[in-house]
Chains A and B, each alone.
Chain A
Amino acid sequence: MRHLLSTTDLDRAAAVRVLDTAAQMAATQGRQIKKLPTLRGRTVVNLFFEDSTRTRISFETAAKRLSADVINFSAKGSSVSKGESLKDTALTLQAMGADAIVIRHQASGAPHTLAHAGWTDAAVVNAGDGMHQHPTQALLDAFTLRRHLAGDAGNPDGVGRDLAGLHVAIVGDVLHSRVARSNVDLLHTLGARVTLVAPPTLLPVGVGPWPAAVSYRLDDVLAQGPDAVMMLRVQRERMSTAGGGFFPSPLEYTRLYGLDARRLATLPDHSIVLHPGPMNRGLEISADAADSPRAVIVEQVANGVAVRMAVLYLLLAGDGDTGAAPATGAVPALTSVPTTATEVSPR
């Protein structure tokens, strides 16, 4: 694989490989000297058509920790119908010698178009496109879940393991959420069971074939004792769109779908709470829940850097020859290979 566009691009082995690589990256981030020389001389462009300081900083940190040169290209508002086209931007970055383009775009499919239109040779990493996918978010969520729910004393990161048997509830605005789409696909690939919880107005028509159960009632799902609850951000502008909004009032939403102290208390002891951030405290999550010991929201941010380091490493560190070779143990980027300490490594 040359790009990371969607979590559907990853089979189980490839996903575990990203998580295992991220575990090694995370280990380096506890050191005094966090910078590695691995991607020296490579250029990573953060191409953001949509504001997202958090995601951009996370990718920027990841690239810099691997010694890549980082160019931040904020193209907000210059995509659709005005200003420079995506094509011309891509041609410009190609001319500048970008090795990877990390793209955030409000249009679903823009990273796919960038990767496949023939405008650039760079590896394309989807940092969130419209209502489609946000694969590195799903990977960092999976990494966090694995560390908390599949790790043990001998293997704290759960290296080599998947998420088989875990039950994850994803709660909130599934309709507009690329985080939800990415997570449903990846969690399913890793063997977890997913339940989507949302008011019917915030679930897509066509959700039927998704590998996830659907519920309109949060309390019913919490009563099943999920291992993790992932709260999605509810944007306040959803209140003012066509038809007068997707739900009657923030209060009603909070009452039915907000995670508060009372609901938190009903969860099993080992359950954890995730949120991709930024949070709307008091809307989808209360301060009690957000700040509770079982909330791993700040840890998700730290894990985001490790996961993005892993993705950049897997896409950029090798010779780009991803076609042949598994027969001799060569490792195509982002595809599967055993990663235990006793493997027979290629030379």
Chain B
Amino acid sequence: MTSGTPVPDDPTAGAPGTAATVVLGEQDVARALTRIAHEILERNKGGHDLVVLGIPTRGVPLAQRLAARLAAVEPGLVAEHLVGSLDVTMYRDDLAQHPTRTIGATSVPAGGIDGKVVVLVDDVLYSGRTIRAALDALNDLGRPRAVQLAALVDRGHRELPIRADFVGKNLPTSTAERVRVLLAETDGRTAVVIEGGGAR
């Protein structure tokens, strides 16, 4: 549960006649994540006290990929000790507007989040409401020293005063369009796709 846009069940199926444009391929996604990993280490002057929490569904494998890159770049970091997941379902402000959502798992590295720098990872940053819920969820888990946000795609249309610290790609869109992040871990292939909304 990541982006703010409706995503059909089967991410590989485009409705007939719908223009589906691939904006990032597998290599583009890999490069973006590598760049973000470097930016995180640069911003935080290393990997000390870092915790990377993915927001289910697709934020979780993205966080895992990111943690692997962090560990590869920064000596002494172990990916499994950095990474976790943060489910925000029970903190959402739109529960009553949708059919009942399934609650995802929350798991935090053994060291907890108190005093740590938490990097939240989501696939698409849109209205900002998911991140608002994530900040509330985080608040109930502990008190990080700082919270930063990494998003693979920022498509604009913010409804709350929230901004990403690390962005894979800024993607100006119309609200009629749908941005879908596909990941090998969840969808069988990796790509970022824009659908609908007419010509691009």
* CA distance in complex: A17, B85 (Å): 20
Q: Which of B132-161 contact A (CB under 8 A)?
A: 136, 140-142
Say whether A346 contacts B96, CB under 8 Å: no
Tell me, rounded to whole Å, the shortest Cβ–Cβ distance linking B57 to chain A: 5
* CA distance in complex: A68, B56 (Å): 25
Say whether A317 contacts B56, CB under 8 Å: no
Say whether A341 contacts B105, CB under 8 Å: yes
Number of interface residues of B (CB under 8 A): 36
A residues near B98, Cβ cutoff 8 Å: 318-319, 330, 346
* CA distance in complex: A343, B7 (Å): 12
0 or 1 for each of B85-108: is its CB under 8 Å from A? (1 = yes): 101001100011111111111100
Number of interface residues of A (CB under 8 A): 41
Q: Which of B1-33 contact A (CB under 8 A)?
A: 1, 3-11
B residues near A328, Cβ cutoff 8 Å: 8-9
0 or 1 for each of A17-52: is its CB under 8 Å from B? (1 = yes): 100110011011001110111100000000000000
Say whether A321 contacts B99, CB under 8 Å: yes
Most buried by A among B10, B105, B136: B105
Say whether A339 contacts B102, CB under 8 Å: yes
Say whether B6 contacts A346, CB under 8 Å: yes
A residues near B1, Cβ cutoff 8 Å: 345, 347
* CA distance in complex: A110, B137 (Å): 39
Count: A-B pairs, CB below 8 Å: 108
Say whether B6 contacts A347, CB under 8 Å: yes
Instruction: Tell me if A53 counts as interface (CB < 8 A to partner B).
Output: no
Say whether A341 contacts B104, CB under 8 Å: yes
The secondary-structure label for the interface of chain A is: loop
Instruction: Tell me if A342 counts as interface (CB < 8 A to partner B).
Output: yes
Say whether A342 contacts B9, CB under 8 Å: no
0 or 1 for each of A309-325: is its CB under 8 Å from B? (1 = yes): 00001100111011001
Say whether A343 contacts B57, CB under 8 Å: yes
Tell me, rounded to whole Å, the shortest Cβ–Cβ distance linking A330 to chain B: 4
Tell me, rounded to whole Å, the shortest Cβ–Cβ distance linking B107 to chain A: 8
* CA distance in complex: A249, B56 (Å): 58
Say whether B99 contacts A319, CB under 8 Å: yes
Tell me, rounded to whole Å, the shortest Cβ–Cβ distance linking A34 to chain B: 9
B residues near A25, Cβ cutoff 8 Å: 103
Tell me, rounded to whole Å, the shortest Cβ–Cβ distance linking A271 to chain B: 29
Instruction: Tell me if B80 counts as interface (CB < 8 A to partner A).
Output: no
Tell me, rounded to whole Å, the shortest Cβ–Cβ distance linking B104 to chain A: 6
* CA distance in complex: A347, B11 (Å): 13
Q: Do A344 and B90 contact each other (CB < 8 Å), given the known contacts A319-B99, A332-B100, A333-B100?
A: no
Instruction: Tell me if A337 counts as interface (CB < 8 A to partner B).
Output: yes
Say whether A24 contacts B106, CB under 8 Å: yes
Closest chain B residue, CB of each to CB of A24? B103
Closest chain B residue, CB of each to CB of A337? B102
Closest chain B residue, CB of each to CB of A324? B99
B residues near A27, Cβ cutoff 8 Å: 105-106
Instruction: Tell me if B175 counts as interface (CB < 8 A to partner A).
Output: no
* CA distance in complex: A343, B103 (Å): 11
Tell me, rounded to whole Å, the shortest Cβ–Cβ distance linking B124 to chain A: 10
Tell me, rounded to whole Å, the shortest Cβ–Cβ distance linking B102 to chain A: 5
Tell me, rounded to whole Å, the shortest Cβ–Cβ distance linking A309 to chain B: 10
B residues near A20, Cβ cutoff 8 Å: 102
B residues near A337, Cβ cutoff 8 Å: 102
Instruction: Tell me if B187 counts as interface (CB < 8 A to partner A).
Output: yes
Say whether A37 contacts B100, CB under 8 Å: no
Most buried by B among A24, A333, A334: A24
Q: Do A332 and B99 contact each other (CB < 8 Å), given the known contacts A24-B106, A344-B186, A347-B6?
A: yes
Closest chain B residue, CB of each to CB of A157? B105
A residues near B140, Cβ cutoff 8 Å: 31, 33, 35-36
Say whether B102 contacts A344, CB under 8 Å: no
Most buried by B among A66, A339, A342, A347: A347
Instruction: Tell me if B82 counts as interface (CB < 8 A to partner A).
Output: no
Tell me, rounded to whole Å, the shortest Cβ–Cβ distance linking B63 to chain A: 12
Say whether A38 contacts B90, CB under 8 Å: yes
Instruction: Tell me if B74 counts as interface (CB < 8 A to partner A).
Output: no
B residues near A17, Cβ cutoff 8 Å: 102
A residues near B5, Cβ cutoff 8 Å: 347
The 6 tightest CB contacts between A and B, nearest first, are A318-B100, A330-B99, A38-B90, A329-B9, A24-B103, A33-B140
Known: A31-B140, A35-B140, A36-B91. 17 other contacts (CB 8 A): A20-B102, A27-B106, A31-B141, A37-B91, A66-B90, A317-B90, A317-B95, A318-B98, A330-B98, A332-B100, A333-B99, A339-B102, A344-B7, A344-B186, A346-B7, A346-B98, A347-B6
- Give B contacts to A, CB under 8 Å: 1, 3-11, 56-57, 60, 85, 87, 90-91, 95-106, 136, 140-142, 185-187
